[in-house]
Amino acid sequence: MIFTVAIDGPAAAGKGTIARAVAKRFGFGHLDTGLLYRAVGAKGGDPVAAARGLGETDLARDDLRTLAAGQAASRVAVIPEVREALVAFQRSFARREGGAVLDGRDIGTVICPEAEVKLYVTASPEVRAHRRWLEVGGDEGEVLAEVKERDRRDAERAVAPLKPAVDAVVLDTSAMSVEAAVAAALAEVEACLGAG
Ligand code: DC
């Protein structure tokens, strides 16, 4: 069975949690595409060469989840040649046998517009910054500024900017518990699988 669930949205909206829950529930493969950009940013040197030569060890680094790695990822993600170098891998993952969940910024709009389910998971910047702050600590005001800066860069870039696909189901998790957000996403996938 070929079945793709595309989950897009801004930083710290809950995409990763939802993607992992969907993958587990339905036995689909999961690709966190943000990790690809984080690995390119963390590698240093020429980002285009880093993207073209990205390998397993680059993705296994343990420093890819930091705020700094997120900023570096967002900066290399504006480079069209970096994005191009990562397209084929993401597309083949999306259409792999057995089903796939991909979370990122442009999965439903660019990587897999034919995805059977498209979710756009969002929340207010304040709520997202608070969640990120609970994970990373530090100064909450700084985390909020970082979230807003990344939102702006991801949404304003010329190539594959962050925006909901026209046919995406928008899930605003600002006032939702994790359990409720996961349940809503599972219900969308269930409905689509049932209808197929
Ligand atoms: O989801 P994340 O926070 O790990 O993503 C890090 C950065 O990578 C994000 O700010 C923008 C970029 N990104 C992207 O441009 N396209 C994707 N599909 C995923 C991430």
Which ligand 1 atom is at minimum distance from the Cα of 106? Answer: 18
Q: Where are the domains of the chain?
A: 4-191
Interval between CA 196 and ligand 1 midpoint (Å): 30
Which ligand 1 atom is at minimum distance from the Cα of 65? Answer: 4
Q: How far apart are CA 58 and CA 50, in angstroms?
A: 9
Structure confidence at residue 196 (pLDDT): 66
pLDDT digits (tens, 9 = 90+) for 156-185: 999 999 999 999 999 999 999 999 999 999
Q: Is residue 5 a contact partner of residue 115, using CB atoms and an 8 Å limit?
A: yes
Take residue 182 and report the two structure tokens written for it: 């996961």
Structure confidence at residue 67 (pLDDT): 86
Of all protein residues, whose CA lies closest to atom 3 belonging to ligand 1?
11
Take residue 163 and report the two structure tokens written for it: 């925006």
Give, in degrees to the nearest 5, the angle at Cα 161 between 30 and 145.
90
Of all protein residues, whose CA lies closest to atom 5 belonging to ligand 1?
34
Interval between CA 105 and ligand 1 midpoint (Å): 6
Q: Is residue 108 a contact partner of residue 118, using CB atoms and an 8 Å limit?
A: yes
Which residues in the chain show pLDDT less than 50? Answer: none
Interval between CA 9 and ligand 1 midpoint (Å): 9
Interval between CA 189 and ligand 1 midpoint (Å): 23
CATH 3.40.50.300 for the 4-191 domain, yes or no: yes
Exposure class string for 100-126: b at 16+ Cβ within 10 A, else e: bbbbbbbbbbbbbeebbbbbbbbbebe
Q: For ligand 1, which residues put their CB under 6 angstroms from it?
A: 11, 33-34, 37-38, 70, 73-74, 77, 104-106, 150, 154
Take residue 170 and report the two structure tokens written for it: 């928008």
Of all protein residues, whose CA lies closest to atom 11 belonging to ligand 1?
74
Structure confidence at residue 87 (pLDDT): 98
Of all protein residues, whose CA lies closest to atom 10 belonging to ligand 1?
74
pTM of the model: 0.95
Take residue 45 and report the two structure tokens written for it: 């040197």
Interval between CA 154 and ligand 1 midpoint (Å): 8
